[in-house]
Amino acid sequence: MYIVINTLYLIAGYIWGDWRNWRKYYPTILFFIIGDLLYNFLLYKKSMWLFHDLILPNHTTITILAMIVSYSVTVFIYLGRFPKGWKKRSFWFLLWSGLYLLIEYVNSKLGFITYHNGWNMWWSVFLTGVIFLILPIHQKRPLTAWLISIIVIISLLTIFDVKIGDLK
């Protein structure tokens, strides 16, 4: 399933991605990837969700594929075509959040993602919203995005009662 999804991302990225300006988006792609790496490292012993696939062997390979393909393409399209004006930006935000959530919902119903330790689809709605709000912030004001991210991470660790001993 994840090979199909990432292949579709590559096709979409080829058609709509702003590849010419890749240097402009590179720091935000790394920011996006670092966020997922932090999740996978900090919550190694207490995952909130796990990916499963029929072809890819484990959560780690699926995550690395998503980091390399899905996140890069997302940034190239989402920020590369980021509209002007609040109405258009709101629609763009809802479109991308909806796309990510639809993919996750289908994957959860098919058993390709499972939730653990109190996480559920509603928390994914929240986190997806944060991601798509913070990507354009990072593009313009990276330090502000990092500060917001640190606050969100600490808040989620507190809400889900992740103790220092739970960390790897």
73-87 pLDDT, tens digit per residue, is: 999 999 999 999 999
Q: What confidence score (pLDDT) does residue 119 get?
A: 94
**CA 101, CA 95: separation in Å to the nearest integer?**
10
Q: What confidence score (pLDDT) does residue 4 get?
A: 87
110, 1 Cβ separation under 8 angstroms:
yes
Q: Which domain holds residue 11?
A: 2-166
Q: What confidence score (pLDDT) does residue 168 get?
A: 66
Q: Nearest-CA neighbor of 165 among 46, 48, 49, 59?
A: 46
12-64 pLDDT, tens digit per residue, is: 999 999 999 999 999 999 999 999 998 888 888 788 898 998 888 888 888 89
Instruction: Record the pTM.
Output: 0.90
111-168 pLDDT, tens digit per residue, is: 999 999 999 999 999 999 999 999 999 999 999 999 999 999 989 989 998 887 767 6
Q: What confidence score (pLDDT) does residue 63 get?
A: 85
Q: What confidence score (pLDDT) does residue 147 get?
A: 97
Q: Nearest-CA neighbor of 116 among 54, 38, 59, 37?
A: 59
Q: Nearest-CA neighbor of 166 among 56, 1, 46?
A: 46
Neighbours of 45 (CB within 10 A): 10
Q: Which residue has the higher pLDDT, 96 or 154?
A: 96
CA 90 to chain centre: 18
Handedness of CA 97, 69, 135, 139 (dihedral sign): negative
Per the structure, the count of domains in the chain is 1
**CA 51, CA 113: separation in Å to the nearest integer?**
4
**CA 139, CA 21: separation in Å to the nearest integer?**
13
